[in-house]
Structure 1
Amino acid sequence: MRKKWLGLGLSLILAAGITGCGNNGNGSAATEAPVGSTATPSAETDGNTARGEPVQLKYWTDDRHDQEYIKELINKFNETNDNNIQVELTVLSENYAQSVDIAFSSKQAPDVLRLKSGNAAGFVKKGYLEPIDEFLTDDIKTKFSKLMLDDVNRFDGKVYSLANTGNTLRLVYNKDLFAKAGIDGPPASLQEMVDGAKKITEAGKAEGIYGFALNFKSPKSAFDRSIREILSLSGHQGLGFDLKTGQFDFAPYSQVIEYFKQMYKDGSVLPGAESLDIDPLRAQFAAGKIGMYLSFSTEPGVYKDQFPTEINWGGALAPTLDGQIKGTSEIVSAGTWLGISAQSANKEAAWKFMQYMYGDEVLKTYHEKGFGIAIVPSIVAQAKDPEIGGMESFLVGEHDSLWPVSPNVTPEGSNYADAFFKYILTDGDAKAITEDLNTRYNAALSQAVEKGEVTVTPNPGFDPTKPQGE
């Protein structure tokens, strides 16, 4: 394993089927009853119950890929903890956030929730989560000190969750198709990617092989798994926000788009990619029909279980604008894992369960089993590589780190991904599109700041090679 650490030192996420809460269900959920207990939940607070009556905790998650391992952990906790605590696991399917909303509004919220970067801020704003600062020991603070991120797991100075894993992003490529096209290795620059995609297409088009593809059915999903990493390695924040000025500036984004547009113009992009979702794309790659694409560290697990393949494939750092690495590859979906409900009547017991889940052995094994890539420095240093083919290319290395969070705003009109994808498919004035995006996004940012929804602090000295300031 690469043990180098820069700047800090998605786990695989799969959702399916909706569930409601109590008798309000619109779907289904898989629930594991606590071992050795059928007692009703205690009404006492902070883990105090009548003599002999166990403390009942409910843990909700929308992760399915790791549920068997989590069941094992919870069973072990229920059997061995000295605090008479019993945890019940509920694995929800899709519409997790809506199910949580219903639970809190009906006062039936779980005690512990699975948190992700996409939902933590919303849950905090709605008052669903309890700060955990009072529970954090000096050892825990030291262990997670480099992973305390504002607007991810820390809000207004209060900590609500701790990190476990994160998703790295890489160029995924077919080594055999590269060799067949006479390409020595993965591209370092965007021009090399364009040239390589064209060569692969020319060499394999008669067999239905094309050099490049992305899941353009959802342009934002496609660009956020590709352009985001290209830009961060090139020294720019990957979602169009300039951390130095505290304003949106899509000029660097526009530069990358020109290379994507050229591949489309060259005919190097898999036909029908405009309506391609990620799983059909993976199926085509597994069948040897795509030379390369960019995606998350979920891919090795996908090609082990979901789309088993015999092709010779690998992962590499994303190409940069000019072939030079001027920043770090952003680790995404990181910083959070578990959180305590503000409505829980047993917060101390909930913390004891969280403390168990955040133990070294649990986090280390979680990584080694391939459920997610460890980002906690002390775990990275001791964990063995997951035994999943291709995962070695996705492990956290010297060019990976966390970045500050960019403000999440909703502009009037189309978002940046839709606007730029339309430009790729048709034509237009790239400069005008960029200026329009800057105007609309910065107007939305100003409104969000005025409403107190976001806080922006320009950082003129921001260093993209050390995005967390170390």
Structure 2
Amino acid sequence: MLKKTIGLGLSAVLAAGLAGCGSTEPAKEAEGGAAPAKKIIKYWTDDRHDQEYIKELVSKFNSTNKDNIEVELTIMSENYNQSVDIAFSSNQAPDVLRLKSANTETFVKKEYLAPIDSYMNDELNKKFSTVIFDGVNRFDGKLYSLPNTGLTLRLVYNQELFEKAGIQAPPASLQEMVDAAKKITDIGKKDGIYGFALNFKNPKQAFDRSVREILSLSGYQGLGYDLKTGKFDFAPYSQVMGYFKQMYDNGSILPGAESLDIDPLRAQFAAGKIGMYLSFSTEPGVYKDQFPTKIKWAGALPPTIDGKRNGTSEIVSAGTWLGISNKSPNKDAAWTFMQYMYGDDIMKTYHEKGFGIAVVPSIAEKAGKPDIPGMEGFLVGKLDSLWPVSPNVTPEGANYADAFFKYVVGGGDLQKITDDLNNRYNAALTKAVEKGSVQAKPDPTFDPSRLQGK
């Protein structure tokens, strides 16, 4: 049986999807006595771009495994981290969780995850040895997840609208992006077409798929941290916000974007109503399977602040994929499923279907080029790379995304907002360093241009 809970909101998930999490159910009696109880493994993910493939894999595992294990899959559309928090606090946690760079450390600190070191063998250690990093998938000497693929980020643009607006090439600078968005809006507004959009229902998700890459390709760490000084400095971030505000003020951003989630945005793009947006290398798979489209579109490197590429576009979510709940009563069964998912053929196919870019060397070497329309614009090149990990802190008050988004839609003193963020984030950083929960060591020699071509 494959349980599919797709697109549920938080309340529905908790009402319908949490009951009996991690429990077992009796199997039918076999000849000569009762069979061992079936082990039910609940697997939660917030990925939707790969959902059809994951459903196939779960179904195959359920029908072929010899260990009497049945995996129940839950795919969430939003509120994933909050749902996980509530599930753990109510002792209804899933057994296997989709992990990402943005939540792994938090889940480890909250003791949601079980270390997997005892399950590793020589073959697995060799396979993943070059892609296991402290602060990414290993914390305090314990391993919690293994990588599969990474995601590149690109400007996703409608080539047909660019041609109609007389735009010759994807924008190289933020001013060019502002100008292109205005041109597209001017020719298309009467038909409900606008130059730019992002999923601003969740500002942090929106900015972490857009501003982050604009900054890293410009030569700045994309989450507001200055690697050279070991302090937070949101001055470069505020420069980007100035251009975003221009697009908002001149009407180039799709109306209603303030309440737009990523899938409704994709549906609008597929319908030809959006000129461009920034997002992950998951998009080609989305437009092949989830929102099939006939428009002519492509991906290109994001623009930079001034048109100069002083850094690289950061490859993100490259260190983690799956993890085991620390509260799972069936950890061995959860590992059996997890090991199945990390099989060479599955990981190779995951890359070739365009769901992510393989980062495990043995997989990348034998995986073919993804045969999927639009994927060529997202493949790793000399201007893509991993970046050093920045400390993850929680300041008092609004986070940087909420504070800057409030400025974009409502205005205010940008310098004052920036100074306030610097003060609050660095105060939180100081406290975290004193507690020993994070490390922040300045690297005056850090040169983002050296990441190019690696």
With normalisation by structure 1, the TM-score equals 0.81
1:89 pairs, out of 61, 67, 71, with: 71
* 90-99 or 121-130: bigger deviation: 90-99
User: Which of residues 398, 411, 420 in structure 2 aligns to 1:414?
Assistant: 398
State the one-letter code of the partner of 2:436: G
Q: CA deviation at 1:365?
A: 1.4
Relative CO higher for 1 or 2, CA cutoff 8 Å, sep ≥ 6? Answer: 1
- Partner of residue 452, structure 1: 436
> Which residue identity is paired with 2:314?
E
Task: Tell whether 2:44 aligns with 1:61.
Answer: yes
Instruction: Indicate which of 333, 349, 356 corresponds to 1:365.
Output: 349
Would you say the 8 A contact 1:212–1:270 is kept in 2? yes
CA distance in 2, matches of 1:78, 1:420: 46
Residue 90 of structure 1 aligns to which amino acid in structure 2? E
- Is the aligned partner of 1:253 residue 2:237? yes
| Separation of aligned partners in 2, 1:357 and 1:147 | 17
Shift of 1:410: 2.5
Query: Contact between 1:32 and 1:89, CA under 8 Å: does it hold in 2?
Result: no
Aligned partner of 1:126 in structure 2 is 110
SS state at 2:179 partner: helix
Pair 311,68 (structure 1): closer, same or farther in 2 beyond 3 Å? closer
Q: Deviations over 1:92-121 (max 9, x none)?
A: 354655665676667776654433334322
Aligned equivalents of 1:64, 1:230: Cα separation in 2: 24
Tell me the distance in 2 between the aligned counterparts of 1:363 and 1:264. Answer: 41
Residues 211 and 20 from structure 1, CA distance in 2 versus in 1: closer, same or farther, beyond 3 angstroms? closer
Residue 16 (structure 1) aligned with residue 11 (structure 2):
no
Aligned to 2:17: 28
Secondary structure in 2 matching 1:396 = coil
Kindly state the Cα deviation for residue 55 of structure 1 after the two structures are TM-superposed. 8.5
Give the deviation of 1:379 after TM superposition: 1.9
Query: Which one-letter code corresponds to 1:26 in the other structure?
Result: A
Moved more, 153-162 or 200-209: 200-209
Larger mean Cα displacement after TM superposition, 278-287 or 290-299: 278-287
Q: Residues 382 and 452 of structure 2 are in contact (CA less than 8 Å); yes or no, is this contact kept in structure 1?
A: no
Aligned residues: 442
The CA deviation at 1:210 is: 2.6
Residue 424 (structure 2) pairs with residue 432 (structure 1): no
Pairs within 5 Å for 1:190-229: 190-229=174-213
**Aligned AA for 1:86?**
N
Q: Which runs of 5+ in 2 are unaligned?
A: 1-5, 30-34
Change (3 A) 1:38 1:399: farther
Matches within 5 A, 1:294-309: 294-309=278-293
Q: Deviations over 1:382-410 (max 9, x none)?
A: 22233432222223333222223322222
- Deviation, 1:244, is 1.8
Counterpart check, 1:385 vs 2:369:
yes
For 1:330 and 1:121, the matched residues in 2 are separated by: 19
Name the counterpart of 2:167: 183
- Tell me the CA shift for residue 314 of structure 1: 0.8
Matches of residues 136-151 of structure 1 in structure 2 within 5 Å?
136-151=120-135
Distance in 2 of aligned mates of 1:261 and 1:102: 36
Q: Which runs of 5+ in 1 are unaligned?
A: 1-13, 41-51
Contact conserved, 2:154 with 2:278, CA < 8 A, in 1?
yes
Distance 2:408 2:90 in 1: 47
CA contact (8 A) 1:169 1:297 kept: yes
For residue 212 of structure 1, report the CA deviation from its aligned partner: 1.9
**Following TM superposition, by how much is the alpha carbon of 1:78 offset from its aligned partner in structure 2, in angstroms?**
6.3
**1:172, distance to aligned residue in structure 2 (A):** 0.8
**Corresponding position of 1:45:** none
Measure how far apart 1:465 and its partner are.
4.1
Higher helix proportion (structure 1 or 2): 2
* DSSP-derived class of the 2:379 partner: coil
Q: Secondary structure at the match of 2:298?
A: strand
Alpha-carbon RMSD across the aligned residues, in angstroms, is 3.7
Residue 3 of structure 1: aligned partner: none
TM-score by length of 2: 0.83
Letter paired with 2:257: A
Contact 1:404–1:468 (Cα < 8 Å) also in 2: no
Report the 3-state secondary structure (helix = DSSP H, G, I; strand = E; otherwise coil) of the residue aligned with 1:458.
coil
Which amino acid counterpart does residue 16 of structure 2 have in structure 1?
A: G
Equivalent position of 2:27 in the other structure = 38
> Alignment partner of 1:85: what SS?
coil
Give the structure 2 partner of residue 232 of structure 1: 216
